[in-house]
Amino acid sequence: MEKTRAQWGSKIGFILAAAGSAVGLGNIWKFPGRAFEGGGGSFLLIYLLIVIFLGMPLMLTELAVGRASQSNVVGAFHALGHKGYSWVGWVGVLGAFVITCYYAHVGGWVLRYVFAYITDAPVIYADSLGYFYNMLGLHADGSTSFPWVAVLFAGIFMALNAFVIIRGVESGIERFNKIGMPALFILLLILLVRSVTLPGAEPGLRYMLSFDWGKVTFETVISALGQAFYSLSIGMAILITYGSYLSKSENIEKNTMLICAADTLVAMLAGFLVIPAVFATLGSDQVGKGGGFAFVSLAGVFEQMPGGQFFGILFYLLLLFAALTSCISLVEGIVAFLTEWFSWERKRATIGVCAVMFLIGCLYTCSQAAIPIKGVWLDAVNGVTFPAFCDFMEFLTDRLMIPVCALGCCIFVGWVWKPESVIAEVEQECVRFGLARVYRVLVKYVAPLAILTILIMSLVTGKTLS
Ligand code: PHE
């Protein structure tokens, strides 16, 4: 195993890279739809509580395990002397692998939209939903065809990814984030102002600020929890890898808070941007369309603002950045493992694994609308079902792999390696871990119990985690 590990070039570099991993399609593509389904304001509040009480301790745990072990996700458990727990790492790598397969494809759609706004803005404005489905191979007359445009762009997106990974941690990932992240943030603010001032946006805004407790169910909590883990990149052992590149003098506690705050802020901004826009343009009955939001509903915002086409291009460009930095973190976790564990050469490992993931991901894009490829699923209520392959891939990661890996991390740290070891790791070089006591309770009792409940509930009731 190699002895000298890469390290982040600068303090801000690490924060931006970890925040770059967290902020991605999850915040902008997934969050708004979930916030709407969960009842607006009440969902937001639950989400916030979950980030604070579960997300933060888990993120801190992963970073500390990574830095203490100076190893990849599987090696970490060996390095800390508990080989028996390396399955947690395996689940993490496998989960990252499956997520990347489809994440890169959705990233490809975003890339497609950068070009779509350059050449086809009026066509998108005319029928934004039709344009989206057309890209996925389902046409207005109901006929279907191979979604080669979406697949082609997914290939380009994956190649971009591989390129950055091959160039290494510092030069690749850091440089991307230093510019992309702040720019995305500013653009979201600008679009937010346009969105909430659109005629008809007000009920959407009011909805996002309303606390309708009658709408809060156990499912809302499950959904918020899954969304929070996904969004913070937890339970994928990504942060163990990133933590291993972190210098001993960094304050893990403070960094964790910063990253969680940045990720949550972006999600909130996206929620307050997208939902009012959907109310104003597509109508509130369209809000449930979830995934297509980021592609479909914003067309109305761009159409009705001066320089809308320019903002459209900029938005998808920055979303592309965000997706790329998240995808890079996923691939980096896998590649770091392959190169260290099997002594594969970095360049070959990256190209090989990216090619395979791209091919598997084609099943995701094709099964959206064009070709009825099925997966298989089992839960206690519905028995054996055959969901579309794209849903199957998300079930596998969101309902099974993420919670299992997160639970494994909690049990390992709470009961085997012990919270004291994490606290000692955080307190290296005279850094004080102010919330150490609270952390101990959260990681030992609260987090594992909460995750176990979700895991069981989602498998027993068939309700999705994220
Ligand atoms: N957190 C990323 C997002 O919100 C996705 C991701 C999940 C990245 C898991 C890495 C690991 O889009």
pLDDT at residue 3 greater than cutoff 50: no
Q: In the predicted model, what is the mean pLDDT of the chain?
A: 86
Which residue has a Cα nearest atom 10 of ligand 1?
233
Q: Is the CB of 236 under 6 A from ligand 1?
A: yes
Type of residue at 300: G
Q: Is the CB of 330 under 6 A from ligand 1?
A: yes
Question: Separation of 105 CA from ligand 1 center, angstroms?
Answer: 14
- Rounded Cα distance, 111 and 154, in Å: 8
- Rounded Cα distance, 358 and 393, in Å: 14
Q: Is the CB of 21 under 6 A from ligand 1?
A: yes
**Which pLDDT value is given to residue 295?**
85
Two tokens, residue 223:
């959904």
* Ligand 1 pocket, mutate which of 231, 265, 325, 394 (most atoms under 8 A from CB): 231
pLDDT tens sequence across 292-314: 677 887 888 888 888 889 989 98
Confidence band for 231, pLDDT divided at 50, 70 and 90: very high
Closest ligand 1 atom to 29 CA = 12
Q: Is the CB of 93 under 6 A from ligand 1?
A: no
pLDDT tens sequence across 262-300: 999 999 999 999 888 888 877 766 655 545 677 887 888
Q: Is 286 exposed, middle or buried (0-12, 13-18, 19+ CB in 10 A)?
A: middle
Closest CA to 164 of 320, 29, 2: 320
Looking at per-residue confidence, does 257 or 293 come out higher?
A: 257
Q: What is the mean pLDDT of residues 66-80?
A: 86
Q: Is the CB of 26 under 6 A from ligand 1?
A: yes
- Rounded Cα distance, 456 and 433, in Å: 33
pLDDT at residue 119 greater than cutoff 90: yes
**Which pLDDT value is given to residue 378?**
79
pLDDT tens sequence across 18-70: 888 899 999 998 898 888 888 899 999 999 999 999 999 999 999 999 999 98
> 410-447 b/e with 16+ CB inside 10 Å = b?
bbbbbeebebeebbebbebeebebebbeebbebbbebb
Question: Separation of 218 CA from ligand 1 center, angstroms?
Answer: 24
Question: Separation of 304 CA from ligand 1 center, angstroms?
Answer: 31
2-6, 109-113, 281-285, 431-435: segment of lowest average pLDDT: 2-6
Closest ligand 1 atom to 326 CA = 8
Is there a contact between 26 and 236 (Cβ–Cβ < 8 Å)?
no
**Which pLDDT value is given to residue 213?**
79
Closest CA to 35 of 298, 317, 303, 264: 264
Confidence band for 5, pLDDT divided at 50, 70 and 90: low
Closest ligand 1 atom to 24 CA = 12
**Which pLDDT value is given to residue 2?**
42
Q: Is the CB of 231 under 6 A from ligand 1?
A: yes
pLDDT tens sequence across 192-205: 998 899 888 899 99
What's the first-to-final CA gap in the chain, in angstroms? 36
**Which pLDDT value is given to residue 36?**
86
Is there a contact between 89 and 334 (Cβ–Cβ < 8 Å)?
no
Question: Separation of 99 CA from ligand 1 center, angstroms?
Answer: 9
pLDDT tens sequence across 85-96: 899 999 999 999
Question: Separation of 23 CA from ligand 1 center, angstroms?
Answer: 7
- Rounded Cα distance, 1 and 13, in Å: 26
**Which pLDDT value is given to residue 100?**
96
Count how many residues are written for the chain.
466
**Which pLDDT value is given to residue 291?**
56
